[in-house]
Chain A
Amino acid sequence: MKIPFSPEQASTIAGSIDAIYLYIVAVTIFFTALIYGLVAVFAVQYRRKSPDEVPGAIHGHNGLEITWTVIPLIISMTMFIWGTVVFFHYARPPKDAQEIFVVGKQWMWKIQHPSGKREINELHVPINKPVRLKMTSEDVLHSFYIPAFRVKMDVIPGRYSSLWFEATRLGSYHLFCTEYCGTQHSGMIGKVHVLSQEDYQKWLETGSAANTPVPVSGQELFKTLNCATCHNSGSGALGPNLNGIYGKPVQLADGSTVTADDKYIRRSILKPADQVVAGYAALMPSYQGQVNEEQIMQLIEYIKGLKETSAPAPASATEV
């Protein structure tokens, strides 16, 4: 069902958001009509009939006060609960969601699919499959908004935010930046194309020779940046073994424990001295300025894929 003055409903969540919207619209119309009606009827009925007319005083009515406190309260709590339930669903991406990487920068969206395929200001997604965007910004705040999907999430420098959806209708839809980001803010727009799963696969494969899968790019970076010099899971390695660390707790030198998630790994690469692993010297150099946001995402994907049992990371050519 398409409601007037609304974008198409092209995701699983769009319908539920529109339903809440219609409910609040109904409540709004009801109370607007009630207040307008009361004011209009009273204003006409009790208009001043003679200049010196003085009506009797009415102090108030506690019963009425309670009524018009409690009824709006109950109605608004139904909105709260419904809105929160749907929001929690929206805020928790399904485990099997396919990841796509998004980097916002003034004034474009750079997008990379796990297979390595890149696009700018366009996003191709398969229909009927949950997709999770992992997003960050190279400069200022942006916000990734697809009205037809009813989803929006701020894109923040120095952090990863995520947004998920499951497209339900083939077609092309608007993609907008909704956080003011400078001169070309209104030009930071694009299109989201929902393809059938087969077409999406085909699309991914076009020009695939040039595409390196994201974790493989990560592995290459790991070599060229000499990470492997220290992180080679050999016995005398200077740095900790990274195999299987993703998602696991890490004991730090200051006694605290952190989970090795995206944020932690990102920080380990850019500001290693901030969180030193227990038992190791703070030898790791900072890679700030040497890797961009996309490369950091690739490195993280590579480290994420290192299983406990993985073969030791290949030592780099410049090993001493």
Chain B
Amino acid sequence: MNSSGKKTNYLNASHTLSSWFLTVDHKRIAILYLITISIFFFIGGLFAALIRLELLTPAGDLFKSDEYNKLFTLHGIVMIFFFLIPSVPAVLGNFLIPIMIGAKDLAFPRINLLSWYIYVIGATLATLAIMVGGVDTGWTFYTPYSTVYSNGAVALTIVGAFITGFSSILTGLNFLVTIHKMRAPGMTWFRLPLFVWAHYATSLIMVLATPVLASALFLLFLERVFHIGIFNPALGGDPVLFQHLFWFYSHPAVYIMILPSMGVMSELFAAFSRKRIFGYEFVACSSLAIAILGFFVWGHHMFVSGQSMYAGMVFSVLSFLVAIPSAVKAFNWSATLYKGSISYETPMLYAFGFIGLFTIGGLTGLFLSTMAVDVHVHDTYFVVAHFHYIMVGGVLMGYLGGLHYWWPKITGRLYPEAWAKLSALLVFVGFNLTFFPQFLLGYMGMPRRYHMYPEEFQVLNVCSSLGASVLGIGYFLPLVYFLWSLKFGKESPANPWGAKGLEWEIQSPPTTHNFDEIPVVTEEAYAYAKEDGKHHG
């Protein structure tokens, strides 16, 4: 169908403000999320830039200590709660899950809109907290500092994070019900794209773990505001209890962030090798294995918190086990390339970047799971480097890769390929320059959350700050050329990549109802080849 013959799509169906703010179309809601989380991404990024600027020199010369402490706290809170957790699921998941399973919308379109409003309210409260003085507890809110000693706007921030949690719970519920109930005829579980499997696993965690965070934050609020002794030892409370509750959510939250990106990876590897994902069932089930095991490893954040060494031992062994399904995924993605037809468009460059960074991020997790080594590197820059490799290297590479891959579908426009390739390169190089030195700093003993540091750490900190400026450009470029493409980009055909999947069978951008008729699915996901090769294992 040529462009003039296209039907009215979800973007030009109506133009009023209320048609956006009261929309129940999952695709428009995805756009609402895209805009809001992008704002928070750049706010969080600004904080990061200021942090890296301060750390250029050992002395605390740019900011006062209190200001610096607020900067890293806000960087963490904004990036984790208001960007990373919603990123892939709320934008790409929202847009694609119904289409990928052949449905016209999510199971509860109104609740989907409600999730966005809840997110906005939570995020606004947190922004207010920033404006009335900020918070300096670290994103971890450890007690009793957060409940008794901090002078920041802790209560307001907690209320913001608490409320945002409900957005996540509702989104998770919506996805679970949608994936169970709304699959098109013939779309069996093992014909689902792996992106959908990954979101299924993610939704389970969102629904089961987020309430625990909510209750931890609620208790924290009670102690801070009403001085009810829960965590403060002076009031008979237990400060370490908070850590258990916090990590019971926040470790699984790492998987809330990374699993959806892994789902994106599977789509990218399949599309740009024109092949079925090697070991599809193993990749699908490894998402579930990660989701389940991920609930039982929280104590690896507490090896030196005085928890019993036998408890530590159990958390250690489980942490090693949870690494295995991730390794399985990485091997299967690599094997997918074998005898494929590989092209190097930008999304695939991001996929290579993901593999590159996630491999290092995942393997460095082994150091932290090993109790004896963790004693030394816990709460140093080693940990900072590790989780940035996972959460920025992994999650963000997946998010950006996915955004490039589906951009033509979402907007109906092609982005400029050369610029995009440049940005992928800058992100990869800048990222490694920023965070690799931090592994070394960590093993050398530099603690995290330090405003000032001894001089011997300066050289590596300067490398890191230089890398961050490259990384910053790498992240800024897409903002520019994506916006540019909305007006000047070439119009995209329905399937610019020659990829498989229901989303590529409908026009770009899709109509409001995605499908005129519910499709009937007759083949597995990624059925690029007409018939199976003889390589069946």
Question: A residues engaging B (CB < 8 A)?
Answer: 5-7, 16-17, 20-21, 24, 27-28, 31-32, 35-36, 38-39, 42-43, 46-49, 51, 53-65, 68-69, 72-73, 76-77, 79-80, 82-84, 86-88, 90-91, 106, 139-141, 143, 145, 147-148, 150-154, 156-159, 161, 174, 176-187, 189, 271
For residue B532, CB closer than 8 A to chain A, the reply is yes
Q: Is the CB of A91 within 8 A of B149?
A: no
For chain B, the bracket of interface size reads 35 or more
- Contact with A181, one of B145, B273, B529 (Cβ below 8 angstroms): B145
Question: B residues engaging A (CB < 8 A)?
Answer: 60, 65-66, 69, 136-138, 140, 142, 144-145, 148-150, 233-234, 236, 238-240, 273-276, 278-282, 303-306, 309, 312-313, 316-317, 320-321, 323-324, 327-328, 330-332, 334-335, 337-344, 352, 355-356, 359-360, 363-364, 366-367, 369-376, 378-380, 440, 443-445, 447-454, 498, 527-533, 535-537
> 6 more A-B contacts (CB under 8 A) besides A38-B334, A57-B535, A140-B145?
A17-B373, A60-B280, A76-B320, A88-B309, A186-B451, A189-B454
B187 to chain A, nearest CB (A): 19
Q: Is the CB of B372 within 8 A of A83?
A: yes
- Contact with B324, one of A56, A73, A186 (Cβ below 8 angstroms): A73
Q: Which B residues touch A49, using CB under 8 A?
A: 341
Q: Is the CB of B65 within 8 A of A183?
A: yes
Q: A5-B440, A72-B324, A143-B304 are in contact. Are A156 and B240 (CB under 8 A)?
A: yes
B461 to chain A, nearest CB (A): 13
Q: A46-B340, A65-B279, A145-B447 are in contact. Are A159 and B233 (CB under 8 A)?
A: yes
B339 to chain A, nearest CB (A): 6
Q: Which A residues touch B371, using CB under 8 A?
A: 83-84, 86-87
Q: Which A residues touch B352, using CB under 8 A?
A: 39, 43
Q: Is the CB of A28 within 8 A of B366?
A: yes
In the complex formed, the residue of B with least CB distance to A3 is B443
Q: Is the CB of B305 within 8 A of A154?
A: yes
In the complex formed, the residue of B with least CB distance to A142 is B145
Q: Which A residues touch B536, using CB under 8 A?
A: 59-60
Q: Is the CB of B334 within 8 A of A55?
A: no
Most chain A CB atoms below 10 A, which of B282, B371, B372: B372
Q: Which B residues touch A80, using CB under 8 A?
A: 316-317, 320, 369-370
Going nearest first, the 9 A-B pairs with the smallest beta carbon separation are: A147-B445, A158-B233, A83-B370, A61-B537, A56-B533, A42-B337, A86-B372, A87-B371, A60-B279
Q: Is the CB of A90 within 8 A of B65?
A: no
B136 to chain A, nearest CB (A): 7
Q: A55-B528, A57-B532, A141-B142 are in contact. Are A62 and B537 (CB under 8 A)?
A: yes
- Contact with B445, one of A68, A143, A153, A174 (Cβ below 8 angstroms): A174
Query: How far apart sit A152 and B279, CA to CA, in the bound complex (Å)?
Result: 43
Query: How far apart sit A35 and B445, CA to CA, in the bound complex (Å)?
Result: 29
Q: Is the CB of A59 within 8 A of B280?
A: yes
Q: A27-B363, A39-B334, A58-B275 are in contact. Are A157 and B372 (CB under 8 A)?
A: no
B352 to chain A, nearest CB (A): 6
Most chain B CB atoms below 10 A, which of A56, A64, A161: A56
Q: Is the CB of A152 within 8 A of B533?
A: no
- Contact with B320, one of A58, A77, A86, A183 (Cβ below 8 angstroms): A77
Q: Which A residues touch B443, using CB under 8 A?
A: 5-6, 21
Query: How far apart sit A11 and B409, CA to CA, in the bound complex (Å)?
Result: 60
What are 22 of the A-B contact pairs (CB < 8 Å)?
A21-B376, A32-B360, A42-B338, A43-B352, A46-B337, A49-B341, A51-B498, A55-B275, A55-B341, A55-B529, A57-B527, A57-B529, A59-B532, A79-B369, A80-B316, A80-B317, A80-B369, A87-B372, A140-B149, A159-B240, A185-B450, A187-B452
Q: Which B residues touch A63, using CB under 8 A?
A: 537
Q: A180-B449, A184-B65 are in contact. Are A20 and B373 (CB under 8 A)?
A: yes
Q: Is the CB of A57 within 8 A of B276?
A: yes
Query: How far apart sit A28 and B532, CA to CA, in the bound complex (Å)?
Result: 35
Q: Which A residues touch B373, using CB under 8 A?
A: 17, 20-21, 24, 83
Q: Which A residues touch B444, using CB under 8 A?
A: 5-7, 147
In the complex formed, the residue of B with least CB distance to A5 is B440
Q: Is the CB of A151 within 8 A of B375?
A: yes
- Contact with B60, one of A58, A156, A186 (Cβ below 8 angstroms): A186
Q: Which A residues touch B316, using CB under 8 A?
A: 80, 83-84
Q: Is the CB of A61 within 8 A of B275?
A: no
Q: Which A residues touch B337, using CB under 8 A?
A: 38-39, 42-43, 46
Q: Which B residues touch A147, using CB under 8 A?
A: 376, 444-445
Query: How far apart sit A63 and B279, CA to CA, in the bound complex (Å)?
Result: 11
Q: Is the CB of A150 within 8 A of B149?
A: no
A130 to chain B, nearest CB (A): 17
Q: A35-B330, A72-B323, A179-B379 are in contact. Are A152 and B528 (CB under 8 A)?
A: no
